[in-house]
Amino acid sequence: MRNKILELLKESEDFVSGESISKKFGVTRAAIWKAINSLKDDGYEIESIPRKGYKLVSSPDILTYEEIKEYLDTRFIGNKIYYYDSIDSTNKMAKDIAFEEKEGVIVVAEEQTKGRGRLGRTWESPKKKGIYFSVILKPQMTPMKVAKLTLIGAAAVCLSLKEMGIESKIKWPNDIVINGKKVCGILTEMNSELNMINYVIIGIGVNVNLEESEIPEDIKHKATSLKIEAKNRIDRKKLLGTILSKFEELYIPFRDEENISRTIEICRNSSAVIGKEIKVMNGSTYKLGRALDINEAGELIVEFEDGNIENVFSGEISIRGVEGYI
């Protein structure tokens, strides 16, 4: 009921009378009053005038289904959203529900208290400053191909930022950078049998409206936010809806036809590493080389110091610039 009333208020420019709501949904005035109060508790500003009714004045900056749906242009991704004000980790929650849930269900939180990066690293996720979400996928393919889904995530974020007027680059395979600093990280996790995927979770964290002072000291040299770089507050709802829409657009051809060419093209054209001297880090060891290209399989082609040219592809590899973060 609450969401139906919200939808009605969103559609109307003017006041909606209690009587018309009551008639439309067949509910009592008391039930309407309760729903309105619950919306107000969630930060909706609603004006109410006796005999005139209710009018939605403003909506809160929250990433619920009701708030992002106007930006969602998808068949299945984001049709169902588990929304949390605060959670330990959206990837962890997504894993907990993945067996019961369908492909495309997402978990979104305004804050993560134990946000994770790869290899057990931390992902800072301050409240309402970023976008933190995880998508549940169930592609029928061999586990070998899963790493490519990270590239789809990266391409979707890069495209979405471009659409919102922000130029960014992809630091193969899982980060998005602006001016050499990270604004987004992607963490792909999988549950599979030998030859069959049970589910894949794509977790995406974007630093959206953090101020300079809100970036923790220890990562200041390599982290930034969209607001810092674009010098403008960014609409989190629009960005999340756009990322989900672009993700689906790139995912469907891959899932159904194993076609990942558009994603590769985006990763190549917006690469932060191609042509650069890099460190290819694998655990605590690294090799120096030069990134030459990204091939059709999504692998990074690297010419190492010894002259060997190798295709690098592993979810565990990290790339660094020789002199700085990238």
Site mask for ligand ADP (CB under 6 A), range 208-247, x = bound:
-----------x---x------------------------
Residue 153 binds ligand ADP, judged by CB under 6 A: no
Confirm or reject binding of residue 299 to ligand ADP (CB under 6 A): no
Stretch that binds ligand ADP, among 86-94, 114-122, 136-144, 232-240 (CB under 6 A): 114-122
Nearer to ligand ADP, 21 or 208 (CB): 208
Which span (64-72, 99-107, 118-126, 236-244) binds ligand ADP, by CB under 6 A?
A: 118-126
CB of 219 to ligand ADP, least distance (A): 5
* Size of residue set near ligand ADP by CB under 6 A: 14
Please identify, using beta-carbon distances, which residue of 103 and 111 lies nearer to ligand ADP: 111
- Which range binds ligand ADP by CB under 6 A, 22-30, 67-75, 122-130, 251-259? 122-130
Q: Note whether 91 binds ligand ADP by CB under 6 A.
A: no
Is residue 124 near ligand ADP by the rule CB under 6 A? yes
- Are 28 and 22 in contact by the 8 Å Cβ rule? The answer is yes
Considering the complex, state which of residue 207 and residue 245 has its C-beta at the smaller distance from ligand ADP.
207
29, 121, 127, 279: which one binds ligand ADP (CB under 6 A)? 121
CA distance 266 to 31: 50
User: In the bound complex, what is the minimum distance in angstroms from residue 207's beta carbon to ligand ADP?
Assistant: 5
Site residues for ligand ADP per CB under 6 A: 117-118, 121-124, 174-175, 182, 185, 207, 219, 223, 318
